[in-house]
Amino acid sequence: MESKKEEKLHIVMFPWLALGHMIPNLELAKLITGKGHHVSFVSTPRNIQRLPKLSQNLAPLIKFVNLPLPTVQNLPQNAEATTDVPYDVVQYLKKAYDALEEPFTRFLESSKAHWLFYDFAPFWAPSVASKFGIKSAFFCVFPPSCMGFFGPPSVIMGNDPIRTKPEDFTVPPSWVPFPTTVAFRYFEIKKIFDSIYDNDSGFSDAYRFGATILNCDIVVIRGCTDFQPEWFQVLENIYQKPILPVGQLVSTELDGGLFGETWQWMKDWLDRQKHGSVVYVAFGTEAKPSQDEVTAIALGLEKSKLPFLWALTVRRGPWDPDVLRLPEGFEERTRGCGIVCTSWVPQLKILGHVAVGGFLTHCGCNSVVEGIQNAKPLILLTFWADQGLIARVLEEKKMGYSLPRDERDGSFTSDAVADSLRLVVVEEEGRIYRETIKEVKDLFVNKERQERYMGGLLNYLLNHL
């Protein structure tokens, strides 16, 4: 009989249908299989095709399991990820995802898996796993500070007598025992308040999160105890179950071989710029600014007089009716000074270039990690979901500077954009952001620490079969 150390795990991973969830799941899968264990990565066909290709040594250990997404009313055909549809259609994507329960159950029954790692959306997954003697872990891609802010499962699911309106979420909750600024600004919570507690998928996001935490055996969370020790303690206090960190899961795929020609001309342009002078602007695969915000960003970039490279998503999938446009004459006026790219870009390669001196980001977790691993100071412009809470942590630690905005509606001016960019990238007053990001980098990119987290996780999983 194999000893626990020699025994090989089989872990099923079932991420939510968003690239911001699938990519960290894949990074974790690569670390697990790098230790000789096996992973079945379950998703839909188009999403699996979107993922970066695996190296030859890992490919035999990660099995991709295709589950075709069921057809549901109001969800366009071939829409399989959040990036394919406008915000208001994501609720129907969740409905289709829930309809995967039956085929997922059939797969799990024959999988001979030891553990299931599942995301916030399939709150029903752990009860399925338990039928077959499979232990379940909620793999949380959100930082511990975000989860700690939202509170115990019962509170998340609506049993909160104190936080009943958006204003209540603009201050830290009572269960956080230390001083912190981590809370939403009014315009941030107002934008998402209704969708958290009500949508047409059949279950609110709040219910999904609460049930997910209640039903799992353990919580595995993206994060580093050396970076946010106090927030990990909050989670242990409010969840009353094991909390296992897996590190920041820094991206290792530069482009998956998909961007050869695109990167070559971008690199040629970046090579001609001064070191640390270029602003990289990107808001991930999901965050989409409004037309007014795009106009303010564009005019602010122009006023800043800084060279820039802007990865602009003009629509969320082919069914998005609102196509964003740049101000008239903007591209002609900034020709030679800046580049706007409306297709996919090799973000890690761009951030790794010495010419880039600042990153205007939406504060999505993946983008923040990629910015920090390349020691690029951050200018923060939040749009959605947990981004405001992530921004507060970056502000507290002087790792990023939030662009000034109207507290009620979140609007901002082109002057605010220009001033913020210049502050962080070139001015003496912003030196603290440029220096702090270099100091913090080791907490995100440290192989020994990552090895320690993975060792702790795998030992736990083996010892609790």
Dist. CA 412–CA 293, nearest whole Å = 7
Residue 142 included in any domain: yes
197 and 267 fall within a common domain:
no
Q: What is the pLDDT of residues 286-320, one digit of tens each?
A: 888 999 999 999 999 999 999 999 999 998 888 88
370 and 458 fall within a common domain:
no
Residue 5 included in any domain: no
384 and 453 fall within a common domain:
no
Burial bucket for residue 454 (CB in 10 Å: 0-12, 13-18, 19+): middle
Residue 315 included in any domain: yes
314 and 359 fall within a common domain:
yes
Residue 99 included in any domain: yes
Residue 270 included in any domain: yes
Residue 397 included in any domain: yes
380 Rama class: left (phi>0) / alpha (psi -120 to 50) / beta: beta
146 and 191 fall within a common domain:
yes
Domain count, the chain: 2
377 and 434 fall within a common domain:
yes
pLDDT at res. 55: 87
Half-sphere exposure of 320 (CA within 13 A, CB side): 19
Helix then strand count (H, E) for the chain reads 19, 13
209 and 331 fall within a common domain:
no
Q: Give the dihedral of Cα atoms 28, 449, 431, 294; nearest 10 deg.
A: 10
Residue 255 included in any domain: no
210 and 311 fall within a common domain:
no
pLDDT at res. 256: 45
156 and 274 fall within a common domain:
no
Residue 177 included in any domain: yes
Domain span including residue 435: 260-443
Amino acid at 14: F
Dist. CA 94–CA 201, nearest whole Å = 6
215 and 304 fall within a common domain:
no
CATH code where residue 395 lies = 3.40.50.2000
218 and 174 fall within a common domain:
yes
**Residue 461: Cβ within 10 Å count:** 22
pLDDT at res. 196: 79
Which stretches of the chain drop beneath a pLDDT of 50?
1-3, 256-257
Q: What values do phi and psi take at 55, rounded to 5? A: -70, 160
pTM of the model: 0.94
Q: Give the dihedral of Cα atoms 341, 346, 352, 355; nearest 10 deg.
A: -20
403 and 303 fall within a common domain:
yes
